[in-house]
Structure 1
């Protein structure tokens, strides 16, 4: 009965894949576990670096607002200078980083971390808003829900 179900829903190729997993699971499971642990540590490394960078961004944005009150949010992002080398040396504990939904890792260097963290301007603005820095600027604007925006982007709803 199970052979009929496998042939019907998975086809001949699926049946062979199930057979391969069933017969060689002793070799497959450790590889999958090591890969999962490796990805978890790399993801945690990136989260730790992101947390430190967000506090550095908030600290520098507060300093910018002390000197100039009428400054736009995009100008804040352009003026923030982060010492990437110092942050990597001090807060990175693993030589690789990975995004949460990523399937592979990247080497921990200034280019990769800057590309991952600074590419999402909405996330930076939301961090500044949560720290109470951009509260007064976007008062008339309705707060965006990034989760719904991402969901609508996937389902292609406007």
Structure 2
């Protein structure tokens, strides 16, 4: 009987840990994933309002702007023509785990677990790795969620 209870307890712990971690679905925005093309992006969410080019340390990225307040930017690497950066500050957007801009640290920890906390460019992020390159970065610089960033870019 004790073995059965212990087995059930361990199984519940494993399921709980898995349920509160960033998952593959958290590394996409309205069906758009890192590595997709401009055409795939447009097919999924329509034409962008405008675009701007930006030079990073490692690439030239063209950001396609969406939203009434220009609050979603999807970056495509000019060399590979693939999505490399998604930046969301749209207050109406809700992630698959029910997280919105303005979410508290408690809500973020409940949805994703405790991420690796890192200061980058004066901002504080919780960072979750999907694989060697793909990162989910939650900007918590003001004590709550300011921006959701899904990226393969270095910084």
TM-score where L is the length of structure 2 = 0.33
Bigger proportion of residues as helix:
1
TM-score where L is the length of structure 1 = 0.33
User: Looking at CA atoms only, which structure, 1 or 2, has the larger radius of gyration?
Assistant: 1
**Higher relative contact order by CA 8 Å / sep ≥ 6: 1 or 2?**
1
